[in-house]
Amino acid sequence: MTDKIAIRLERTGERVATDTAAAIDFIPFHSASRHFFSGKALTVVRAKHAKPGRTTVGVTVKELPPQQVFLTGIH
């Protein structure tokens, strides 16, 4: 396995699952961090209580600057 990714959600979004398709990684899907598999990871985000609004998704990986993306949910 390779480096670990940490994913942070702020505001109206909640994590449904995070995965990397690594068959040997037994970390639960709802975990906020996982090990990369072939350099890839996926997080599924949904709006809390089906309310519209903005969610900040922050990503941290060792030896790289932190990054973030903003999602806007509509109803």
2 pLDDT above the threshold of 60: no
Q: Domain span at residue 46?
A: 4-73
> Is residue 31 within 8 Å of 8, Cβ to Cβ?
no
Instruction: Provide the domain count of the chain.
Output: 1
CATH of the domain at 22: 2.60.40.10
9 vs 60: CA distance, rounded Å = 12
Percent of the chain exceeding pLDDT 70 equals 96
**pLDDT band, residue 8 (cuts 50/70/90):** very high
| Token pair for 47 | 């709006």
What is the pTM for the complete model shown? 0.76
Q: Cβ distance 8 to 14 under 8 Å?
A: no
